[in-house]
Amino acid sequence: MSWQQQDEVWLGLGDYVAGGSCAPPFLKSEGALARRPIVMGSMDLSDGRDAYDSAMMWADAGADGMMIRVSSEEELPTVAMIAQVTGLPIALSGDPAVVSAMASAIEGTVMILMGADAEGHLSAGQNGRIAVFDGLDADAMHAFRLAGLKGDESCKRPILADLSMFPGEPMEEAMVGLEAMLCGADILVMNNPVAADMCRFQGEELAGL
């Protein structure tokens, strides 16, 4: 039996791609792509920190993008600024109405919308174009990706593993991220920059990049 190729999506300015796997993770002998998961850092615009500094911190740490938690449409200029300054893919999380409204006003970059929808962007969630799992639910991710590789059309979507609220130490978070990658996650949203850096490194090593 041959594995079925999974859906892939293009993010940001079109220079990042997620998904598209055609074999179990990192198994080159079975035809896996030389492609590592995208690693995003999490930000919360209401946590009191300077948004520009936080975004640049993630960019400097080597993150491929940011998941930004938003709470009000008044934060639109900040999100637009981050998208423009970093040029990196962005995922928006928060009240679906706020996320949708904000996404509709931002053009020129393809964003992931957690639990929401807007034209020109990618919805993520139960019925979205990207499947979202709690990063701790590795069994579910593995089952989903295995079903997709076997041809289940409903399970071919890229997997986003959300670790943005992970409470543990960076090394623990990195281990969870590693496990998610080995279970087929295509996008990791990390809480700690050190853990994100380790996952990015691991992804590159495992993918042979």
Partner 1 sequence: MTLPAKPVQKPAKLALTVSDALGADAAATRIGEIQKRTLALSNFTYLCIRDDLRSPDSFADICGVAAVLWEGPLVIESDEPEAIAKGCLHLVGRKPLVHCREAHAEASAIAASLGCRVLSLPGDDGDAVDTGTQDLSEIPDAIHLLKGYDPSRPVTVHVPAGEYGVSTAAAAMMLGADLIIADDLDAASCALLDRIATYRTVRRWDP
Q: By rule CB under 8 A, what string of x and - marks binding of each residue 128-167 to partner 1?
A: --------xxxx--x---x--xx-----------------
Q: Which stretch binds partner 1 (CB under 8 A): 48-56, 62-70, 72-80, 170-178?
A: 170-178
Q: Is residue 207 within the footprint of partner 1 (CB under 8 A)?
A: yes
Identified binder of partner 1 from the candidate list 56, 78, 182, 193, rule CB under 8 A = 182
Q: Is residue 49 within the footprint of partner 1 (CB under 8 A)?
A: no
Cβ-based nearer residue to partner 1, 80 or 136? 136
Q: Which stretch binds partner 1 (CB under 8 A): 59-67, 71-79, 153-161, 198-206?
A: 198-206
Supply the angle between the helices 76-86 and 51-60 in degrees, to the nearest 10: 30
Cβ-based nearer residue to partner 1, 101 or 175? 175
List residues binding partner 1 (CB under 8 A): 1-3, 24-30, 136-139, 142, 146, 149-150, 171-172, 174-176, 178-179, 182-183, 198, 201-202, 205-208
